[in-house]
Structure 1
Amino acid sequence: MNLWQTFLDKRGDLLLALGQHIQISLIALVIAVAIAVPLGIWAQGHRRFAQTLLQLTGILQTIPSLALLGLLIPFVGIGTTPAIIALVVYALLPIFQNTYVGLTEIDPAYQEAAAAFGMSRWQKLRRVELPLALPVIMGGIRTATVLIIGTATLAALIGGGGLGNFILLGINRNDAALTLIGALASAALALVFSAGLALIQKLRFRYVAYALGALLVIGGGVVGYQALRPKPETITIAGKLGSEPEVLINMYKDLIEAGHENVRVVLKPNFGQTSFLYAALKSDKIDLYPEFTGTVVTSLVKPSAKDKQALANGANSYPIANRLLAKQGMILQKPMRYNNTYALVVRQADAQRYGLKTIADLDRIPQAQAGFDLEFANRADGYQGVKQAYGLDLKLHSLDASLRYQALVKGQVQVTDGYSTDSQIAQYHLLALQDPKHVFATYRGAPLMRSRWAQQHPAMVKRLNRLANKITETDMQQMNYAVNVQKQSAAKVAKQYLQKHGLLKEAQ
């Protein structure tokens, strides 16, 4: 692992990610302080409601972050907005709790002295209570800051950017250097913010108030600027986790820009699971993303009994998928050539030891341990279909898609799910088991978009369809290998393929 060389190669991307992370964290912190501190002050005089508020903020903090992000996408879209809302939710408890505790635990003698001097409620708060409670309040703000910076890495899952991009990319490509750089940068940022707040805390109260006021003004200005600044028309393309979706979205970008020099295309790689992407597409938060015919007919639409029978008999899934998508105002463009279907993958050593050739042979492994991606484990054309067709009952472990091959290679599981174009199959000399009962559907990829968007951008759709019936399974596996193993950028690999096959020249 050449950490220093990776840092030098990625320093530009790191600075960009660091700036995004600081922006997200700062805005979330400012909003959380603006809500929680006044709420804590109000609760001091309404103690009957204080416990209810403490319980409510505590409950909000227990909501799983991924679940919260998923719930927010249909309402506020993708990017930084849902990430900031989630971070504010998690930061409310420590700030509110410390503000309330700091104010309510002041020695009553100080309260009596303030009353004896004839201070008004505002004067007592400003001159006595807040200065005395400041160390406790600042402690809550520091705790919230560290929590925000650490949790902000999840913004990368929904296209919000930040240091999480490095962590996700490192995990997905099995590149420990990228993961470590992202983690170290996040930890360093948390320490710097915490140290800065500790330094502010040592100042006199009025200077602290000035500093926090300036922070609120600056943060509010950033929020206002982001909301009010003119936004140029852009084309937003998202992709699922992995090198293959990232290569494809870069191809889409190059094809669109080849015909429209003034078009601004924004890419959202490593966006997450299918449900996140489809929800974002339906709510007009993204314009298109690469999807597969098999995923459409099994997860995004509801085929009739007749359609299911036709698919089971080997019918072409593309026209069925498009007919059902049209009912939802969606359209899948012409698919590529390769079939990126599911596969159950084992190590060659296990295949030789137990004589594994087909999925049915897995029952030869005593107490076989399976590590499946959560989506595959619950799909009718995934593990659920495998169980029904082959009568298997594996001991199942739910693993993130980016970790399952690592678990297989290390012997922590004996079988995992993969795709026929995965570079890891060649990289680790693995075996994809045969599926004689054809549980796995045909997966041919194409741009999925709203029908209205396609009608409004016919020239762009025509360029995207240059990929129709292009790219073989060998081509895709080689491109995945170039990104995951040879560490080439997805953008470079995508452009090389398009240039080699003359697709950019034809699109002009």
Structure 2
Amino acid sequence: MVAETWNLLATRWDFFAGLLLEHIQISLLAIVIAIVVGGIAGILISERQRAARPTLAVINFLYTIPSISMLGFLIPFSGVGDATAVIALTIYALLPMVRATHTGMTNVDPAILEAATGMGGTRWQTLVRVKLPLALPVIMSGIRNMVVMTIALAGIASFIGAGGLGVAIYRGITTNNAAMTVAGSLLIALLALVVDFVLGFVERRVKMRSRAAKRTNRRLAVGGLAACGVAVACALLPGLVAPAPATIHVATKPMTEQYIMGNMLKDLIEQDTNLKVDITQGVGGGTSNIEPAMESGDFDLYPEYTGTGWAMVLKKGGTYSEDEFDQLQAGYKKKGLSWVGMYGFGNTYGIAVRKDVAEKYGLKTYSDLAKVAGKLRLGAEADFFEREDGYDALSKAYGMKFGSTMQMDIGLKYDALEQGQVDAIVIFTTDGKLSKANATVLEDDRHFFPSYECGNVVREEVLQAHPELRDVLKKLDGTITETDMAQMNYEVEEEGKDPEDVASTYLRSKGLLK
């Protein structure tokens, strides 16, 4: 594993370096906001003690909210992406910052403050020249803890389509690439350790009170600010000198095949147009988070499935069939969206049980499963338990009630089945692991699951602004079969190939990519 991780970092450093830079940007922005807001709040409540208890109580309450829940609460207000991640990280960073500032300010020796007042110091002078300098070591300790925590917590930002090293972790889990998960985790840990070391050095310097030490501290502060200024200038200068081309923002769900299709879109669009493509890989929650972001303009394009659009986006009842595609298209048009470029394959749901379970109970169909479901445990991704055509509807259609259920990430379900943590899992018919899994796929004998043909959903506004995009997307019509997609998924999940390479190789085989 160590060798695989090192080799991956060496061969894909451009990929990881980009994620590392995004991680630093997201974390740094949240840290700066937390220092300013939390510092001011800590100073204010130390000067107005009556406000201290309710302020700290509110911040403590926010801190106890699970990070996933916090992201979910924020999405309706700030959408998906970096902005929501920064807001969430700032909220969690406030508690250590406010508490450290308040503690440092209130623990200054009263005798010193009395002496400062006796020498004629105003309240403002006492605060700035006495309290803050004496409280600074405690405040720096709080900042140090807060920064390390924020860098580590920023890894979860990828769940809502933000950047950072969490993208590598989440993608590694989804595609069964343990080396990528380890590499992303290792880089976050190293970044946190490096920053902790630097802040530890700063904390030690702050405690030095000699005149020479203060002069050195001022020089170091000026040098640090200058280095930050140069870094910011270098990041902004290319965009100021040469305006960037128009960018198409592509989103994908947290599924291997979606990573592959996202890269296909990037390759084709950038080859055939002057447009640049920015991919947000593996947005947690899938359609439930991507589609609202499409309507708000955060994303421009993403691969979707017809049955999912019918049930989750248009909220239509009944089992969808491709004969109703015109109705589906009309419904999307009302939302300012359009289906363009149908890939040619379908990826419907299915249910698979472990082979020993199938043999024990003689299971061949869903109706067979319904008779013994109460003795079994079902595993599925969160999306399946919430959608209109998901778990509740399936249970009703077959009179099926499992003994228990387990919510899990898509990339972990086959491992959970193999390890006996669940007895049955919800699958996709193009799953790469399916052909090698210790599983029996059951027959949907009442034809419950609708058709799920895959195509691209794109904003009408983008098509009008860039009409050449429609022609590019139409090139994908009928280019992929279900067997082709399953094979590509297998190459990524079991053979360890990169989705980017698999995507480009397939497009070249079809003569679509030069």
**C-alpha deviations, 1:59-86, integer Å up to 9, x for none?**
3323333343344445544432222222
Which of 266, 271, 277 does residue 283 from structure 2 map onto? 271
1:475 and 2:484 equivalent?
yes
Match of 2:352 in 1: 345
TM-score between both structures, scaled by the size of structure 2? 0.90
Work out the number of aligned pairs and report it: 498
- Pick closer, same or farther for the CA change 1:3–1:220 going to 2, 3 Å: closer
In 1, distance between residues paired with 2:228 and 2:58?
A: 26
**C-alpha deviations, 1:263-319, integer Å up to 9, x for none?**
21111111222212112111111110001101011100133xxxx45x46x562422
Which of 368, 385, 389 does residue 381 from structure 1 map onto? 389
SS in 2 for 1:39: helix
In 2, distance between residues paired with 1:128 and 1:193?
A: 28
- Pick closer, same or farther for the CA change 1:434–1:217 going to 2, 3 Å: farther
Which of 481, 489, 501 does residue 492 from structure 1 map onto? 501
- Pick closer, same or farther for the CA change 1:222–1:87 going to 2, 3 Å: farther
In 1, distance between residues paired with 2:348 and 2:465?
A: 32
1:396-475 alignment to 2 at 5 Å? 396-475=405-484
In 2, distance between residues paired with 1:123 and 1:173?
A: 59
Q: How much identity, in percent, do the aligned residues show?
A: 38
The range that moved more, 195-204 or 212-221, is 212-221
Which of 230, 254, 268 does residue 267 from structure 2 map onto? 254
**C-alpha deviations, 1:387-413, integer Å up to 9, x for none?**
011111111111122222221111100
Match of 1:187 in 2: 189
In 1, distance between residues paired with 2:493 and 2:329?
A: 32
**C-alpha deviations, 1:30-50, integer Å up to 9, x for none?**
121111112211222212222
Match of 1:164 in 2: 166
Match of 2:331 in 1: 324
In 2, distance between residues paired with 1:136 and 1:254?
A: 52
Segments of 5+ residues of structure 1 without an aligned counterpart are: none
Match of 1:357 in 2: 364
In 2, distance between residues paired with 1:226 and 1:267?
A: 21
Match of 1:16 in 2: 18
- Pick closer, same or farther for the CA change 1:351–1:456 going to 2, 3 Å: same
Runs of 4+ in 1 over 6 A off after TM superposition: 207-228
Match of 2:89 in 1: 87
In 1, distance between residues paired with 2:448 and 2:229?
A: 54
**C-alpha deviations, 1:137-187, integer Å up to 9, x for none?**
122111211221111112222332211122112211222222122212212
The code of the aligned residue for 2:299 comes to I
Which of 235, 240, 243 does residue 248 from structure 2 map onto? 235
The code of the aligned residue for 1:5 comes to N
The range that moved more, 356-365 or 88-97, is 356-365
1:196 and 2:198 equivalent?
yes
Which of 57, 64, 68 does residue 62 from structure 1 map onto? 64
Match of 2:210 in 1: none
The range that moved more, 42-51 or 435-444, is 42-51
Q: Is the 8 A contact 1:237 1:286 kept in 2?
A: yes
- Pick closer, same or farther for the CA change 1:323–1:137 going to 2, 3 Å: same
**C-alpha deviations, 1:86-110, integer Å up to 9, x for none?**
2111101110111011111222111
- Pick closer, same or farther for the CA change 1:370–1:210 going to 2, 3 Å: farther
TM-score between both structures, scaled by the size of structure 1? 0.91
Q: Is the 8 A contact 1:317 1:442 kept in 2?
A: no
In 1, distance between residues paired with 2:113 and 2:223?
A: 29
In 1, distance between residues paired with 2:59 and 2:223?
A: 26
1:117 and 2:126 equivalent?
no
Match of 2:511 in 1: 502
Segments of 5+ residues of structure 2 without an aligned counterpart are: 208-213
- Pick closer, same or farther for the CA change 1:504–1:368 going to 2, 3 Å: same
- Pick closer, same or farther for the CA change 1:386–1:365 going to 2, 3 Å: closer
How far residue 325 of structure 1 moved from its aligned partner, in angstroms, is: 1.4
How far residue 7 of structure 1 moved from its aligned partner, in angstroms, is: 3.0
How far residue 209 of structure 1 moved from its aligned partner, in angstroms, is: 7.9
Q: Is the 8 A contact 2:417 2:423 kept in 1?
A: yes
The range that moved more, 459-468 or 495-504, is 495-504
In 2, distance between residues paired with 1:55 and 1:222?
A: 38
**C-alpha deviations, 1:105-124, integer Å up to 9, x for none?**
22211111211222233332
SS in 2 for 1:106: coil
Q: Is the 8 A contact 2:373 2:400 kept in 1?
A: no
How far residue 218 of structure 1 moved from its aligned partner, in angstroms, is: 7.4
The code of the aligned residue for 1:382 comes to G
SS in 2 for 1:161: coil
